[in-house]
Structure 1
Amino acid sequence: MMLEKIKKLIYYYEEVISLPHRQEVARELRNEDDFFLLLLYSEMLGIPNPVYYYTLELYPYIIEDFHDWHLRMGMDKSPLSGIRCC
């Protein structure tokens, strides 16, 4: 009984401490994802990418996130002719 109360107290404490930083963490994760997608699609956008060969394997997994990414980058339509998402 006492152990459960202590666990609940610790959980509540951790939630209170992390609450103000959730937006910052989410923003940083989104920025990292945006940068990763830029690297992934840079060759198709005309920016040389030295690891293009290795990133080809990732396209099927990332294609679902491409639409959200190009909208966040300020592009109304897909900049790539081979990828139709809109």
Structure 2
Amino acid sequence: MRLPRWSSFRAGLEEFCAGPYRRTLARARREEDDLFRMVVLAEALGVPDPAAYYTVELMPVVYEDFHAWHRRMGMERSPLEHVGCC
């Protein structure tokens, strides 16, 4: 059984430790996600990918956030012919 006092103490301690680094950690996670999308979409972008057989199952997951990704990468239009998000 958890006491509310310990739960609030734990939440405060977590905020104290992670608070100053929240922006840095969010940026690192976004960069990792962008790299992951690049690996998954490499074959579709014309880059030979030996792991394309394994990453094709991940395409539907990547397409959900595709528009935000290609805008962050500096591409005004979708680089893929079969994905028209703009």
- TM-score of the aligned structures, taking structure 1 as reference length: 0.88
Q: Structure 1 residue 8: deviation in Å?
A: 1.6
1:78 positional shift: 0.1
Tell me how far 1:19 sits from its aligned partner. 0.3
Task: Give percent identity, aligned residues only.
Answer: 45
The match for 1:84 is 84
**How much does 1:5 deviate?**
2.3
The unaligned stretches of length 5 or more in structure 1 are: none
Provide the TM-score with structure 2 as the length reference.
0.88
Residue of structure 1 equivalent to 2:4: 4
RMSD value over aligned CA atoms?
Answer: 1.2
The alpha-carbon deviation at position 42 of structure 1 amounts to: 1.0
Q: How many residues align?
A: 84
Change (3 A) 1:44 1:6: closer
More helix per residue: 1
Show structure 1 runs of 4+ deviating over 6 A.
Answer: none
Q: Which runs of 5+ in 2 are unaligned?
A: none
